[in-house]
Amino acid sequence: MSIDHDDPVFEGHFPGDPVYPGVLLVEAIAQAGVCLVKIASHNTVTEASAAGARVRAIKVLYAEFTGEVKPGEMVNIEVKTFEVSPFLSVFGGRIVGSDGAVRTTVIVEVYVGE
């Protein structure tokens, strides 16, 4: 994922020292995790299957921010499922910078229904 220099979130976060907001990093991990769950259950994700999915974040079980993500940085999103059931999925993920350093680690619980 490439962090765009022109993303409007940098205007107020923080003036003169822009940092990509942690809540958006958590959101990126959650979305990647939902895609992983959908791929695992259907072997594919189409626009139609994604549009019909009911997704609700239930709980952030753990979040640690160990480094900043700056404008123009290229990061990787890594996710792993811990539990998948018809009602809830638990997965973990991390944001890793191009230098290999972990910036964010998250474990989330999400409802992913049809």
Report the percentage of the chain scoring pLDDT > 90: 69
Q: What is the reported pTM?
A: 0.86
Number of domains in the chain: 1
Residue 2 lies in a domain: no
> What is the pLDDT at residue 113?
74
Name the band, by pLDDT with cuts 50, 70 and 90, for residue 86.
confident
Q: Which domain range does residue 29 map to? A: 8-113
Q: Is residue 3 part of a domain?
A: no
Residue 23 domain-assigned (yes or no) = yes
CATH number of residue 35's parent domain: 3.10.129.10
pLDDT at 15 over 70: yes
Within a domain: 79: yes
Could you read off the pLDDT of 24-76 as tens digits, one per residue? 999 999 999 888 887 777 656 566 666 666 788 899 999 999 999 999 999 99
The answer to the question of residue 1 being in a domain is: no
Residue 107 domain flag: yes
Give 86's DSSP letter. S
- Examine residue 26 and state whether it is found in any structural domain, yes or no: yes
| Catalytic residue chosen out of the listed positions 1, 7, 13, 45 | 13
Question: Is 42 annotated in the active site?
Answer: no
Q: How far is CA 3 from CA 15, 33, 65, 71, 77, in A?
A: 17, 19, 17, 5, 12
In a domain, 33, yes or no: yes
